[in-house]
Amino acid sequence: SGIKKDLKNFGVEFDVWFSEKSLYEQNNLQEIIELLQQRGFLYEEKGALWLKSTDFGDEKDRVVIRENNVPTYLASDIVYHQNKYQRGFDKVIDIWGADHHGYIKRMKAATQALGYSENFLDVLIVQFVTLIKNGKEVGMSTRGGEFITLRDLIKEVGKDVARYFFLMRSYDSHTEFDLDVAKSQSMENPVYYIQYAYARICSIIKKAEEEGIKIDKNKEDNLHLLDKKEEIELIKKLSSLKEVVRKSALTWKPHLLTTYLYDLASSFHKYYTVYRVIAEDTELTKARLILIDCTRVVLLNALKILGISTPEIM
């Protein structure tokens, strides 16, 4: 379908695509009703079936089946989460828009009513993104049919920029997506800024090789020559990649990695502005080549994790 193709072009692929319709075809809803009744968390009132969600900290009990026998959205969500549990998952992370914040307690209550652990379900509330063009907010309304699709966005700014800009801020922070900055081939564009650092390093290493200077990573006895403040700062930043990746994964905050990448690129650009990598002193040159090559490898690995390309020429 169009959605699958657009997401693939964005670098996002799902292992399973699930049809809500299938939830009702297998009589799963009736199984849920019977299970909740057996566990004592479902009762009838005024012709409707109610979930005792207040038993798990919700503000009020919630309707699962209306008096006209039509299931609520909550009913299908309960069935869907049971399906995930039955497929063997012990941790579910739901990603919802900011307008669904009030739905969290009832959904967590429902999973606990089914007998699942309190830690079975986590919900990430993602704040809205505002598109900015020519310094002004782009007005959008789904009801009015005014919106920009992901396909349009990728076509306008490219996959790399779109991915980075969406990952640039924490999911719980409001994001402004400036289309003019995103399209610019300048240092103002953070993606260009980072990729240019990578391409610049590749260019320096190539130039050194053309001059007959090769990087010998096995020879570390000249690394003591890297004693400038900017060099020490760069080395410290390089050594922190592992911890940044670990923290990003454990806290579900990839923006920690985008921030790290920008800071690393900034440290490199500052260093390159002040010092010549290919210097008159051959040993110093070799030491600096090792330093910038390590920077190249870290940039490569971090960008690869984020699904962003690493052009060697820009």
Distance CA 154, CA 109 (A): 39
**Cβ 191 vs Cβ 183: under 8 Å:** no
Mean pLDDT of the residues in the chain? 93
How many Cα neighbours within 13 Å face the side chain of 128? 11
The two tokens of residue 210 are 């053309």
**Taking the CB of residue 242, how many other CB atoms lie within 10 A of it?**
9
Q: What is the assigned CATH class of domain 190-305?
A: mainly alpha
The two tokens of residue 49 are 């079936």
Position 140 confidence tier, pLDDT thresholds 50, 70, 90: confident
What string of DSSP letters covers 213-258?
----TT--TTGGG--SHHHHHHHHHHHTHHHHHHHHHHHT-THHHH
Q: Give me the pLDDT at residue 220, please.
A: 73
- Of the listed ranges 135-144, 159-168, 239-248, the one predicted with least confidence: 135-144
- DSSP-derived secondary structure letter, 101: G
Q: Give me the pLDDT at residue 147, please.
A: 79
How is the beta sheet containing 48-51 ordered, strand by strand?
A: 42-45, 48-51, 62-65
Domain spans, the chain: 2-126, 129-183, 190-305
Q: Summarize the confidence of residues 9-38 as an average pLDDT.
A: 88
Residue 166 pLDDT more than 80? yes
Distance CA 105, CA 142 (A): 27
Quote the percentage of the chain above a pLDDT of 90.
80
| Long-range contact set of residues 251-258: C-beta below 8 Å, sequence gap at least 24 | 252/93, 252/124, 252/171, 253/170, 253/171, 254/167, 254/306, 255/167, 255/168, 255/169, 255/170, 255/171, 257/167, 257/302, 257/305, 257/306, 258/164, 258/167, 258/168, 258/190, 258/306
The two tokens of residue 98 are 């900011």
Residue 308 pLDDT more than 80? yes
Q: Which fold has domain 2-126?
A: Rossmann fold (3.40.50)
Distance CA 229, CA 271 (A): 9
**Taking the CB of residue 229, how many other CB atoms lie within 10 A of it?**
9
The two tokens of residue 267 are 């440290």
The two tokens of residue 276 are 């010549």
Encode pLDDT of 273-282 as tens digits. 999 999 889 8
Nearest to 62 by CA among 28, 9, 104, 95: 104
Q: Give me the pLDDT at residue 77, please.
A: 95
Residue 24 pLDDT more than 90? no
Residue 127 pLDDT more than 80? yes
Per-residue CA distances from 176 to 155, 170, 182 (Å): 19, 12, 11
In angstroms, how far is the first alpha carbon of the chain from the final one? Answer: 34
Residue 221 pLDDT more than 90? no
